[in-house]
Amino acid sequence: MNGNDSSVNAEVLPVRAGSRDVEPAGPVLDAELVDDTLPRPRHRTAQHRFARWWRQSPRVPLWLKSKPQAIQAAKDALVAALKSPWRYVGAVVRGLIVGIRWWRGWVTVLDYRKAAEESEKLADKFTEIRELTLFRWKVTGALVAALALVGTIVELVYGSDPLWMAGAAASVALAILGRRKDGSPGRKPALAGPRTLTWTMDPQVLVDAFRDAKLIGKDESLRLVERATRVGDGWAVTVDLPATRKAADVVKNREALASALAVDEVQLIVERVRGNGGHAGRVSMWVADEDPYSSPPLRTPLLGVSQWDAWRPVPFGRDARDRRIDLPLAWTSLLVGAIPRQGKTFAARLAAAGLILDAWVRLYVADFKAGKDWDAAGQVAHRFMSGDEPEHVLILVDWLAELVAEVQGRYRRMRDLDDLTCPESKITPEMSRDAPLDMPITAIFVDEVQVPLEDRTPVVVQGKKLTAGEYIGELLTWLAKKGPAAGIVLVLATQRPDSKTIPSGLRAVLGSRFALRVMDWRDSNIVLGEQMNTRGYDSSRLLPSHKGVGILRPDGETQAGADVLAVTVRTYYMPNEDWQAICAQGRALREATGTLTGHAAGENTAPVLDHASVARVIGTQAEPVAAVELPEPLASVVGYLGDDLGEGGREFVPTAELVEALEVEPTTFGRQMGEFGCRPERVRVPGADGKTRQVRGYLTTDIRAAADAITSGRRIGGESKDDP
């Protein structure tokens, strides 16, 4: 056992005893597994074989295998026993109604009459029908008289006990006849009472809800995999859908199912069961008793931790089931998007808190909000900046260029390391804490990233002019692609999640996404990914009162499961005093370890840069700024689409979207676009409800071709821009 290794491992995870969410951990020791061959019993005892059969046999009920299931079964049995008298009386009444209806149809020869009406021979059969009706009335009267006579004789001879016994037998027969099978017979009220959550007590209501939501057919039913049980503050149940029905459709139509169950959609969690215990038609449901996000948020558990390991996922929040959700940050990147005042900065600071409590992590913090939310991070940051002026944007350009050069240097140094130290071209925990290697995890946080990305300050790279925002977009995209394996963690936060702000090429390589409430499903898809709203994940449906609640799409496994695509999370609460305390603790850790550098150590040295070599590394394709201006409305269309007009962007844009965004008159707009050679097309696209519909709009390739033709002087619609 290596003593040095064990001491490092023992120090990275100390935890204050009594913490709610973090378990105390002792020293982690390195050792070697020694296999001492011991004699094993050749045959299991009969008791072991019986216990194994009992646990695995499908013939043994689940409540006999599990204590929670047995408790729930006992509760269900008690409820059923208390409600059984009323259910029995209701079944007898329904059976009596069914019997009377059957007798009425029999005595009026209803089947014979309908057959005659269908054959249009009712007039010819009228005499026969009347005679048969009179005969059956006579039979009914004779039977009633006979029963009355027999009852009188039995009462005189044997007393009333046989009559009571016969009545009980008749009530049992009527209860069987009136049992709820396909719904209770009888007239339905025109106005029913309010719908409430009753499916947990009656599985038939759950089946009816699936039918009402049109997730299964009228003649189809569900198969119960796991009975309804209490999990947290709600009910959980797992069902199998009928053959050919898909669990993905249930997840996509969660809102319709919530309506059928008479609950708000935030109370309903629907997930497809994956892995060995699931298949494409198995659905796991959890329904909360009340809004799971109405209670006050919990404070971050990092307050009870003296230090953290950056290679462990950071405590981020809790889901509706009150399970702790941790956010993996190593080897990935994060995009946080929301409209203002929804908790975007709080979420980004939660991700930063875990890295701050690791003394070996190097931090770059750029706050373009120009407030004081991130000021405490200046105590630990290697580079720190707060401001929204063009000079601050140019400082970020230098930082990013420095990081690009750092990544390239790390890859070159990894190539010279032996396979034991660096098994792959990826940084390891041991490498990140090896001071001579100088490869610590380096995290860069950019709040209000839309400010630098939209900056129009001209910069010159390799003799070519481009805007600072375009150059920053290329640098961030390159870092998001190649940086994670070299230990670079990129965290971007924006309150303007639209296609013009975040380039499509950058969005495509950001691994983890967190979308708090946004304005519409398009903005939600920009943060979470295309078509996520059709899969049931739309952050625009979150309530305004749900501060700090968002949809997390992690790049890695969380407590919700490795196969869960996304999960709704309420982030932990970390006010400024807690944030300042964590930053102060992070500074103390770095001072003790000797890893305090840069801005935090008072060393505000400018990075040594070679922008020409950096531009060659990232492969920038900057072109000189065009002197030709595009005419309207083509210029507005190109400006609106932005980077979505380039490679990897959108392929189609609806006319209605352009008309609404540009506030133009539809007919005039269509005529002007036609003059530029852009002809509208009809394309089938998915709507907000998940259904595909045909939409009229323009192909971005046509718009790009029209813009290129104007700037290059080629002919458009048979005319050159230079023609008189």
- Domain final residue, candidates 259, 288, 317: 288
* Whether 354 and 271 share a structural domain: no
Q: Kindly state whether residues 540 and 655 are assigned to the same domain.
A: no
682 vs 642, more confident: 682
Largest Cα separation within the chain, whole Å, is: 122
Q: Are residues 465 and 585 in the same domain?
A: yes
Strands across the sheet containing 268-272: 223-230, 234-240, 282-288, 268-272
Say if 535 falls within a structural domain: yes
Domain match, 521 and 584 both: yes
Query: Is pLDDT at 41 greater than 60 in this prediction?
Result: no
143 and 282 housed in the same domain: no
Closest CA to 271 of 657, 562, 696: 562
Average pLDDT over residues 592-621: 75
What pLDDT digit, counting tens, does each position of 226-249 carry? Answer: 878 888 788 888 889 998 888 888
The Cβ of residue 393 has, within 10 Å, a number of other Cβ atoms equal to 26
Confidence of residue 530 (pLDDT cuts 50, 70, 90): confident
User: Across residues 194-205, what is the average pLDDT?
Assistant: 65
Three-state secondary structure call for residue 515: strand
Q: In the structure, what pLDDT confidence band is assigned to residue 197 with cuts at 50, 70 and 90? A: low
In a domain, 195, yes or no: no
Look at residue 422 and tell me if it is in a domain.
yes
Say if residue 107 is in the same domain as residue 211.
Answer: no
Q: Which range among 65-74, 276-285, 471-480 shows the weakest confidence by mean pLDDT?
A: 65-74
Distance CA 552, CA 587 (A): 30
Together in a domain, 237 and 96 = no
Amino acid 136 reads R
The pLDDT of 109-117, averaged and rounded, is 75
Strands 314-318 and 324-327 come out as: antiparallel
SS3 565: coil
The CATH number covering residue 211 comes to 3.30.980
Query: Which of 29-43, 201-215, 375-389: highest mean pLDDT?
Result: 375-389
**pLDDT for 688:** 60
- CATH for 402: 3.40.50.300
Clarify whether residues 238 and 374 are in a common domain: no
Let me know if residue 272 belongs to a domain.
Answer: yes
Residue 566 has pLDDT above 80, yes or no: yes
Highest mean pLDDT among 55-69, 355-369, 452-466: 355-369
Please state the domain count of the chain.
4
Q: Which domain holds residue 565?
A: 307-618
Domain assignment present for 598: yes
Give the per-residue pLDDT at 185. 43
* b/e per residue 624-646 (b: at least 16 CB within 10 A): eeeeeebeebbebbbebbbbbbe
DSSP 626: P
Q: Which of 567, 586, 618 delimits the end of a domain?
A: 618
For the entire predicted model, the pTM comes to 0.62
Do the strands 442-447 and 488-494 form a parallel or antiparallel pair, or are they unpaired? parallel
pLDDT above 90 (res 581): yes
pLDDT band at 641 (very low <50, low <70, confident <90, very high): confident
| Judgement on whether residues 338 and 468 belong to the same structural domain of the protein | yes
Establish if 515 belongs to a structural domain: yes
Assigned domain for 578 exists: yes
Please indicate, yes or no, if residue 300 is contained in any of the structural domains. Answer: no
